[in-house]
Amino acid sequence: MTALLEASSPHVMNTYGRLPIALSHGQGCRVWDINGKSYLDALAGIAVNTLGHNHPKLVPALQDQIAKIIHSCNYYHVPNQERLAAKLVELSGMTNVFFCSTGLEANEAALKLARKFGHDKGIERPEIVVYDKAFHGRSIATLSATGNPKVQAGFGPLVEGFIRVPLNDMEALKNATANNPNVVAVFFETIQGEGGIHPMRVEYLQQVRQLCDERDWLLMIDEVQCGMGRTGKWFAHQWAGIVPDVMPLAKGLGSGVPVGAVVAGPRAANIFQPGNHGTTFGGNPLAMRAGVETIRIIEEDGLLAHAALVGEHLRAVLTHTLAAELANGGVKEVRGQGLMIGVELAKPCNVLTQRSADAGLLISVTADSVIRLVPALIMTLAQADEVAAILCPLIKALLAESA
Ligand SMILES: Cc1ncc(COP(=O)(O)O)c(C=O)c1O
C-alpha cells in the first residue's frame, strides 16, 4: 500500500511530506481511505471542513448550485457575493468585503491595503509590524511576513517593509516602532496556527487596538485559521471585544470549497479603487454559495456554542488524562480555544501523525512539537472522548521512549 502510493505520483511536484494514505470519502467527522480503513478526523483538512464531510444540508445546496452555474467571472454581478458580504459585515461589525480563493490571497490583499493606506497618507515606504512564529502564506509577500525561517529559506530577496516583534509584548511593539513615521499597520493571527497554537492575550489585543487608534495604524488580524466559528465565536479576536480594520479569512469559510475574503472596516473599506485589485476565481457563484450555506448552517445548528462546549471538554479530558505528563514536564501545555487545540510536548513529535493515523485518528503536528487538533465544528462530545482515548496513549508511549 505504502509503496503503491509513494510510486503513484511521479508527476506531482514533491512539495508535501505526505503520509501514505489516500482518503476516499467521509461522513461527519469520520473518513475512510481507499482501502476501507476508517479514521476519526480531528484535522478537518487543516481547519477547512467546518461542517465535516457529506453534510446533509450543505451537499444538496452545492449540488443545486453546480447544476445552475459554477463560475461566471467578475465582469458581472454575482448576487451571492452581496449576500455573503452582508453576512460577514453583520457578523464582524466591519463594512466591506473583497473575495478571493485562498488564505494567502486574502493576506496579500491585506498587505496591499496597508501599503496603499500609507501611500494615500503620503508615506512612500510603508512598514508593517509582523510577529515571530507567524504564518501568513507562501507567496513572496506573505512568506516575507511569515515568521518562520524555514518557510523563507531559498526564496530571497524577501519583500521589505516588515518590522518583526515577539507575541504579547507591548513594550517590544512600542520600542520597535518608536519614532518611525512609516509604520502603517500591525498584522497578526489571533491564535497562531502553523506557528504552534499560540494565542494573543486578551489584554494585548485590546492594547494593540488602542495603539493603532492612537497612531492611525491599521489593525489587521489574520483569522484564516482561527476564524469562522472555530473558537466558539465567529472570529477569535471577538473574545477580546475588539474590531479590526482588516480581517483576512479563508479555510473554514467554504467548508471545503476554496473561498477567501478580506473584510475591511471603515478605515480600510475605500482604499481599493477600481483597477487596484482583482482575481479571476474570487467570489464565483459556487464559492459564494458555499460561504452563504456554511454560515447559515452554523447559525441554524448552533455550532458556535457547540464548538466552544466540545472544545472545552476536549481540553479538559486531555489535561486530565495527561496530568502526570503535565506535572513531569513531558507535556508542556494543553492550550487553545474552542476547537483549536494544541498539545505541546517537550520533544519533537512529528512521528505521531503516522502513529495516530495507524491507530485510526487524523491529526497534525506543527512547529515540530505541537499536536494540533482542529476538527469540524460538528464533532460530538463522544468523538472528542475518542480523540483523547486514541491520542493520549500514543503521547505517553512517545514520551516513555526518551526516558
Ligand atoms: C493563519 C493563516 N494565514 C494564511 C494561511 C495561508 O492560507 P492558504 O494555504 O489558503 O494560502 C494559513 C494556512 O495555513 C494560515 O494558517
> Which tens digits make up the pLDDT trace of 276-329?
999 999 999 999 999 999 999 999 999 999 999 999 999 999 999 999 999 999
State the average pLDDT over residues 45-57: 98
Is 293 near ligand 1, meaning CB less than 6 Å away? Answer: no
Query: Distance between CA atoms of 199 and 358, rounded to whole angstroms?
Result: 30
Q: Are 48 and 229 in contact (CB under 8 A)?
A: no
Q: Order of strands, edge to edge, in the sheet holding 23-27?
A: 23-27, 30-33, 38-41, 361-362
Amino acid at 273: Q
Is 261 near ligand 1, meaning CB less than 6 Å away? Answer: no
Query: Distance between CA atoms of 326 and 203, rounded to whole angstroms?
Result: 26
Give tens-digit pLDDT for 111-137: 999 999 999 999 999 999 999 999 999
Query: Distance between CA atoms of 90 and 242, rounded to whole angstroms?
Result: 15
Query: Per mean pLDDT, which range of 9-18, 148-157, 174-183, 379-388 is the poorest?
Result: 9-18
Using most ligand atoms within 8 A of CB, pick from 16, 48, 104 the residue to mutate for ligand 1.
104
State the average pLDDT over residues 355-373: 98
Q: What is the pTM of this model?
A: 0.97
Is 231 near ligand 1, meaning CB less than 6 Å away? Answer: no
> Which residue from 132, 133, 272, 151 is spatially nearest to 141, judged by alpha carbons?
151
Question: Does the pLDDT of residue 7 top 80, yes or no?
Answer: no
Is 222 near ligand 1, meaning CB less than 6 Å away? Answer: yes
- Distances from the Cα of 334 to the Cα of 35, 373, 388, angstroms: 34, 11, 12
Close Cβ partners of 113 (under 8 Å, ≥ 6 residues apart): 218, 220, 246, 262, 264, 268, 271, 272
Is 113 near ligand 1, meaning CB less than 6 Å away? Answer: no
Question: Does the pLDDT of residue 157 top 80, yes or no?
Answer: yes
Residue ranges per domain, the chain?
2-54+302-402, 69-300
Length of the chain: 403
CA 161 to chain centre: 24
Q: How far is the CA of 252 from the centre of ligand 1 (A)?
A: 11
Is 364 near ligand 1, meaning CB less than 6 Å away? Answer: no
Using most ligand atoms within 8 A of CB, pick from 135, 223, 230 the residue to mutate for ligand 1.
135
Residue 102 exposure: Cα atoms within 13 Å on the Cβ side:
10
Share of the chain above pLDDT 90, in %: 97
Nearest alpha carbon, ligand 1 atom 9: 103
Check residue 128 and give its pLDDT.
Answer: 99
Share of the chain above pLDDT 70, in %: 98
- The CATH number corresponding to 69-300 among 3.40.1190.20, 3.40.50.720, 3.40.640.10, 3.20.20.60 equals 3.40.640.10
Atom of ligand 1 nearest to the CA of 102: 10
Close Cβ partners of 263 (under 8 Å, ≥ 6 residues apart): 88, 89, 92, 94, 96, 97, 246, 247, 248, 249
Using most ligand atoms within 8 A of CB, pick from 187, 251, 372 the residue to mutate for ligand 1.
251
Q: Are 314 and 388 in contact (CB under 8 A)?
A: yes
Q: How far is the CA of 102 from the centre of ligand 1 (A)?
A: 7
Average pLDDT, the chain: 97
Pairing assessment for the beta strands 246-249 and 260-264 based on DSSP bridges: antiparallel
Is 188 near ligand 1, meaning CB less than 6 Å away? Answer: no
Check residue 6 and give its pLDDT.
Answer: 54
Q: Which residue in the block uniquely carries the three cell numbers 503521547?
A: 395
Check residue 345 and give its pLDDT.
Answer: 98
How many other C-beta atoms are found inside a 10 Å radius of the C-beta of residue 1? 12
Q: Do domains 2-54+302-402 and 69-300 have the same CATH topology?
A: no
Query: Distance between CA atoms of 161 and 141, rounded to whole angstroms?
Result: 10
Q: How far is the CA of 224 from the centre of ligand 1 (A)?
A: 6
Check residue 3 and give its pLDDT.
Answer: 46
What topology is assigned to 2-54+302-402 in CATH?
Aspartate Aminotransferase, domain 1 (3.90.1150)
Q: How far is the CA of 225 from the centre of ligand 1 (A)?
A: 7
State the average pLDDT over residues 13-20: 94
Is 45 near ligand 1, meaning CB less than 6 Å away? Answer: no
- pLDDT category at 4 given cuts 50, 70, 90 is low
Check residue 9 and give its pLDDT.
Answer: 80
- Break the chain down into helix, strand, coil percent, rounded to 5: 40, 20, 40
Give tens-digit pLDDT for 199-258: 999 999 999 999 999 999 999 999 999 999 999 999 999 999 999 999 999 999 999 999
- Which residues pair with residue 333 across a beta bridge? 344
Check residue 294 and give its pLDDT.
Answer: 98
Question: Does the pLDDT of residue 105 top 70, yes or no?
Answer: yes
